[in-house]
Amino acid sequence: MNTLSLRALNRALMHRQFLLARTDRAPVEVIGRLVALQAQEPNWPYVGLRSRIHGFTQSELTALLEDRQVVRSGLLRSTQHLAAADDFRRLRPLLQPVLDRTAGSPHFTRNSTEARRLAERHPGRDGRILAGEFELRTPLVHGAATGAWGSWGNRSAVSVTPAEAWLGKPMVTAATAAGIKDSAKELIRRYLAAFGPAGVKDVQAWCGLTRLGEVVADMHAELRRYCGPDGVELIDLADAELPDPETRAPVRLLPAFDNALLGHADRTRVVSDEDRKRVMPGQAQVRPTFRVDGRVHGTWSLGAGTLRLTPFRPLCATDRAALHQEADRLLPFVGGTTVSCSDTAATPSS
């Protein structure tokens, strides 16, 4: 097996995530390529698409939600995601055991009374937790307004509709063990197209399913195998392109919970272990980041109209200029007026 360096893995990921160059593909096609976009806070997927698509506007994604081509619901890793409607119909039944496992965790069971009609019927119970359990166990789609561009942070109220009623089509359920395995194979192919090359543990961390090693072993003839920099076996689609590792990756500002950060168990291809602790400080936080040459180099935030850049280490003059140019381009999209950067010292140009 060929051994791939961290840089080679980084460039493969950046290419497949449309982060080496923005694409002209339609937003629904990009969402499908990425499988789903994490969307606990509704505005962040818009920023993620803006970082990947030429000329993307908020109205394009809002229209897809209103037209029911894209839905917002619990999906991968039991968290809120945006997915193409047909993908949701296929993926949610496959991933339902993961959501059921989460719904059966102590966080929910200590509060649960079967999650029926929630707070009014169960005085003394936490209605939000009951609602969360019900959504995990039952495929529900959030109303378009819940996922629309608007104020930052979670919405105070969420309207939901049973998925089949919202989509006007039944969910696609595999009736046999062979059918479930075939669905899992297709999920692995979709994952590799967006995140590969990767290890089995990476796939499992991304989707929440377990025992995928057995499925991958059954796909032996259609997959290419590599050795990662740590000696772990990696798999990929046989015809997947690997860009030149020396390809320069442009500066990008990415949203909180971005796919390119959360798609692997081993995230060292995009962020060092030290920097990861700054990006993921605990309590389910995953901060917005910016990438310099494909790797996380700092975080950014928006408040009182100011987009604040916080590098983790000094930037060379060339990278600093590119970062400010990209931040200036993002500024009107997120409703900001000013860019500030905490890095006052720059190393010589490279």
Going by C-alpha positions, the residue among 304, 294, 298 that lies closest to residue 341 is 298
Query: What's the confidence (pLDDT) of residue 346?
Result: 44
Say if CB 196 and CB 237 are below 8 A apart: yes
Angle in degrees, CA 83, 71, 139, rounded to 5: 100
Handedness of CA 261, 225, 18, 30 (dihedral sign): negative
For the ranges 106-115, 153-162, 182-191, the lowest mean pLDDT is seen at 106-115
Q: How far apart are CA 92 and CA 36, in angstroms?
A: 11
* Token pair for 57: 């506007």
Report which of 129, 136, 123, 97 is spatially closest to residue 110, judged by C-alpha positions: 129
Question: DSSP 3-state helix, strand, coil percentages of the chain (rounded to 5)?
Answer: 45, 20, 40
- What is the arithmetic mean of pLDDT over 31-40? 96
**Chain mean pLDDT for the chain:** 91
What's the Cα-to-Cα distance from 242 to each of 126, 266, 302, rounded to whole Å? 49, 19, 35
Residue 350: pLDDT above 50?
A: no
**In the structure, what pLDDT confidence band is assigned to residue 129 with cuts at 50, 70 and 90?**
low
Which of the four pLDDT bands, split at 50, 70 and 90, describes residue 49?
A: very high
For residue 79, give every residue at least 6 positions away whose Cβ sits within 8 Å of its Cβ, in sequence order, or none.
Answer: 38, 40
What is the full DSSP assignment across 134-165? HHHHS-EEE-HHHHSS-SSS--S---EEEHHH
Structure confidence by residue, pLDDT tens digits, 13-35:
999 999 999 999 999 999 999 99
Asked if the model's pLDDT at residue 85 lies above 90, the reply is: yes
182-211 per-position pLDDT tens digit: 999 999 999 999 999 999 999 999 999 999
Q: Which residue has the higher pLDDT, 122 or 234?
A: 234
Q: Mean pLDDT over residues 268-280, rounded?
A: 96
Kind of pairing between the strands at 223-227 and 160-162: unpaired
What three-state secondary structure class fits 290?
strand
What's the rounded Cα separation, in Å, for the pair 85 and 167?
7
Res. 294: pLDDT tops 50: yes
In the chain, % of residues over pLDDT 70: 90
Binning pLDDT at 50, 70 and 90, where does residue 349 land? very low
Please tell me which residue, 29 or 347, carries the higher pLDDT value: 29
Residues, the chain? 350
Tokens at 66, concatenated: 């209103």
The answer on pLDDT for 111 being more than 60 is: no
pLDDT at 128: 62
pLDDT at 117 exceeding the cut of 70? no
Q: Is the pLDDT of residue 131 over 80?
A: no
**Which residues are CB-neighbours of 317 under 8 A, at least 6 positions away?**
346, 347, 348, 349
> Which pLDDT score, from 0 to 100, does residue 80 have?
93
- Helix crossing, 6-16 with 177-195: angle to 10°? 100
Residue 62: phi and psi, rounded to 5, are: -60, -40
Classify residue 35 by burial, with Cβ atoms within 10 Å: 0-12, 13-18, 19+. buried
- Stretch 101-110: mean pLDDT: 74
Under the banding of pLDDT at 50, 70 and 90, the label for residue 347 is very low
Q: Is the pLDDT of residue 105 over 90?
A: no
Q: Of the candidates 38, 111, 107, 48, which has an alpha carbon nearest to the alpha carbon of residue 77?
A: 38
* Model pTM score: 0.91
Tell me what percent of the residues of the chain surpass a pLDDT of 90.
79
210-266: pLDDT as tens digits: 999 999 999 999 999 999 999 999 999 999 999 999 999 999 999 999 999 999 999
Cβ contact 35:190 at 8 Å: yes
Q: Which residue has the tokens 């809002």?
A: 62
C-alpha angle 275-277-279 in degrees, rounded to nearest 5: 75
Q: Residue 103: helix, strand or coil by DSSP? A: helix
Rounded distance between C-alpha atoms, residue 33 and residue 191, angstroms: 9
Beta bridge partners of 81: 38, 73
Instruction: Scan for tokens 């140009």, then name that residue.
Output: 349
Tokens of 270: 């995009």
